Structure formats: structure tokens, C-alpha cells
């Protein structure tokens, strides 16, 4: 990745009409409905954006959408890139750097995740308060990283406290269950074994998924305040493990998404 590539990507998007977005949003698996709430949308397909990772079959519908939500200018990633598709850490986080250079001051992230904390139920939402990187690498482990920011990025409070507080307050007011917990990221795409779920729980995680952490690391590199919400799509009880059904995961995510949209919209209004 070079600054010149970033400049070219950003120039392409500005020409398309991506005019100084204030807030970036990443939508996770099964969580595309928020895109319908965007007013005056301008759409850029990932395949057409210079230097964006080349979309895989699964991702042919990936889009970057610019527009307004609650009268704020937003840029929304409908579909993200994952390590399990064969991309590298820098590829999957490139869009975060692009959104930052477009001008966003806040980033809202969502994902689908499995609940390893068995007090949580599928269909519930979890606000990520901290994470554990189990992906075996870092998006900041490259030669010229210092040209883009600090190499040794502090991760004491990777998730923005003020935005978290707003989300918790909104959830209380609107009677939406919003757990708080630790998210562990794995590469995937295979799900975890029973022994792995036990390990992940022992390590101190409440949920596990295949995304988000690299994006959060890069956002911290860019000093970009972020929040992230997991939609819990399955219960990972090693003593009673059900075979995973991807279609069911997507359905549960879609059913729970309106709650997440409500929270994100309230937050956007207050930013
Ligand atoms: N493990 C990893 N990723 C996931 C899961 C899971 O159980 N559920 C949804 N995404």
C-alpha cells in the first residue's frame, strides 16, 4: 500500500460525489438493511474502485455507498473483506484508510458473531468493549507503516468510550438488550471445534467472529474513534454444540438487525 494508491482511490470517489463524509459504517454478514436508510445514495461497486481488493464471487455485490442518514453525511461499506477469502491484512483494512482520508471522524462497525458467553442468546446484540486478536497477524506489520502513523499503536481503550456510553444509554431508553463483552477474532472460515470454543471462553472472550479486529487496529492507527456491535447469531456451548447452518445465521442476523439500526441511527443523530 502506498499513499499514492490511497490518493487515487480517494480521488475516484470524490469525483463520483463522495463529498466529505462525516461518519463511516461497516455492515457485517446478513446486516445490509441499513443501506436502505441512506438518502440520496451514490453507489461505487468495489470492483470499480481503484486499488480496492478484487471482489470474490461471494462479494460481487460489495458496494461503498455515500449519502445521508439522520442528516449526516455517511459512507457505508455494504459487505466487507475477510481474511478467509484469501486477502491479506492490509487488503481487508484498505477501505478503512480510504474512508478516513475521505474525511470521516467516526466509524461504526457491525458483525455477526457466535456467543461463547452462554448468558447471551442468539438474536441479542453485544457492544464490543475490548477484543482478543487470534488471527495470527497484524494489519500494521509492514515495512513503511511509520509513513501512515505510529508503529507501536496504543490499544488501552480501542473502542470509543463516549460513543459506547451513548449506545448503552439509547439501548436502555429504547429497551433493547445490549450486552457488553470481549470479542475474539479468528481467521475462519471453518467454525470452531468444541475444544476451541472452550479455549476462547477460557481466554476471556464473550463472542467470536471472523472480522472487525483488523479494522479496529487500523482505526486506532488512524486515531479514528470507533464503536462495534456484534449481532449474536449462534450459541457456542461446547457441551451441547449444534451444527452450524449458515442460512440460519444470516436469517438471525437479519431478524436482529432492526435493533442495531435503531441504535446506530440514534448514535448518528448525536454525533
Ligand atoms: N464462530 C466464528 N464466527 C462466527 C460464529 C462462530 O461461532 N458465528 C458467527 N460468526
Average pLDDT over residues 172-198: 97
- Measured by CA distance, the residue closest to atom 8 of ligand 1 is 114
The CA 37 to ligand 1 mean position distance, Å, reads 27
Residue 138 binned pLDDT confidence (cut-offs 50, 70, 90): very high
Return the number of other C-beta atoms located less than 10 Å from residue 114's C-beta: 25
Each residue's pLDDT tens digit, 145-160 = 988 888 999 999 999 9
Could you tell which of 29, 112, 124, 256 is best to mutate to test the pocket of ligand 1, judged by most ligand atoms within 8 Å of the CB?
112
Q: 59 pLDDT exceeds 60?
A: no
- Tell which phi-psi region holds residue 85, choosing left (phi > 0), alpha (psi between -120 and 50) or beta: alpha
Residue 176 binned pLDDT confidence (cut-offs 50, 70, 90): very high
Angle, vertex CA 25, rays to CA 21 and CA 31, nearest 5: 145
pLDDT at site 120: 98
pLDDT at site 155: 97
Each residue's pLDDT tens digit, 65-94 = 999 999 999 999 998 999 999 999 999 999
pLDDT at site 56: 65
Residue 30 binned pLDDT confidence (cut-offs 50, 70, 90): confident
Average pLDDT over residues 117-131: 97
The CA 93 to ligand 1 mean position distance, Å, reads 20
pLDDT at site 29: 78
Q: 270 pLDDT exceeds 60?
A: yes
Indicate the CATH number of 3-270 among 3.40.50.1580, 2.60.420.10, 3.40.980.10, 1.10.3720.10.
Answer: 3.40.50.1580
Q: 128 pLDDT exceeds 70?
A: yes
Look at 54-58, 109-113, 184-188, 248-252 and tell me which has the smallest mean pLDDT: 54-58
Look at 3-12, 53-62, 86-95, 218-227 and tell me which has the smallest mean pLDDT: 53-62
Residue 170 binned pLDDT confidence (cut-offs 50, 70, 90): very high
Which helix (H) or strand (E) segment holds residue 162: the answer is helix 161-173
Assigned C-alpha cell, 125: 446484540
pLDDT at site 60: 53
- Measured by CA distance, the residue closest to atom 9 of ligand 1 is 113
Q: Is the CB of 235 under 6 A from ligand 1?
A: no
Strands 226-235 and 72-78: unpaired
C-alpha span between 32 and 54 (Å, rounded): 20
Cα distances (Å, whole numbers) of residue 146 to 8, 157, 226: 20, 21, 21
% of the chain beyond a pLDDT of 70? 97
Look at 205-214, 241-250, 252-261 and tell me which has the smallest mean pLDDT: 241-250
| Sequence-separated (6 or more) residues with CB below 8 Å from residue 77 | 24, 25, 26, 27, 62, 63, 64, 95, 99
C-alpha span between 36 and 55 (Å, rounded): 22
Amino acid at each position: 500500500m502506498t499513499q499514492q494508491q490511497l490518493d487515487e482511490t480517494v480521488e475516484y470517489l470524490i469525483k463520483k460525489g463522495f463529498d466529505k463524509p462525516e461518519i463511516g459504517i461497516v455492515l457485517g454478514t446478513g446486516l445490509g438493511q441499513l443501506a436502505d436508510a441512506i438518502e440520496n445514495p451514490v453507489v461505487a461497486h468495489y470492483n470499480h474502485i481503484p486499488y480496492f481488493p478484487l471482489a470474490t464471487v461471494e462479494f460481487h455485490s460489495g458496494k461503498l455507498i455515500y449519502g445521508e442518514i439522520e442528516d449526516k453525511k455517511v459512507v457505508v461499506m455494504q459487505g466487507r473483506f475477510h481474511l478467509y477469502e484469501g486477502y491479506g491484512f492490509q487488503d481487508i483494512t484498505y477501505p478503512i484508510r480510504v474512508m478516513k482520508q475521505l474525511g470521516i471522524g467516526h466509524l461504526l462497525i457491525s458483525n455477526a458473531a457466535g456467543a461463547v458467553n452462554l448468558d447471551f442468546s442468539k438474536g441479542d446484540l453485544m457492544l464490543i468493549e475490548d477484543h482478543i486478536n487470534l488471527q495470527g497477524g497484524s494489519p500494521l506489520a509492514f515495512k513503511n507503516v511509520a509513513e501512515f502513523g505510529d508503529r507501536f499503536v496504543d490499544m488501552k481503550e480501542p473502542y470509543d468510550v463516549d460513543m459506547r456510553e451513548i449506545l448503552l444509554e439509547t439501548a436502555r431508553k429504547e429497551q433493547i438488550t445490549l450486552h457488553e463483552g470481549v470479542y475474539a477474532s479468528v481467521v475462519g472460515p471453518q467454525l470452531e471445534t468444541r475444544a476451541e470454543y472452550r479455549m476462547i471462553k477460557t481466554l476471556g472472550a464473550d463472542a467470536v467472529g471472523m472480522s472487525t479486529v483488523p479494522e479496529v487496529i487500523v482505526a486506532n492507527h488512524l486515531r479514528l474513534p470507533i464503536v462495534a456491535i456484534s449481532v449474536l447469531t449462534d450459541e457456542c456451548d461446547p457441551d451441547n454444540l449444534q451444527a452450524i447452518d449458515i442460512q440460519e445465521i444470516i436469517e438471525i442476523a437479519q431478524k436482529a438487525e432492526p435493533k442495531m439500526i435503531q441504535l446506530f441511527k440514534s448514535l448518528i443523530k448525536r454525533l
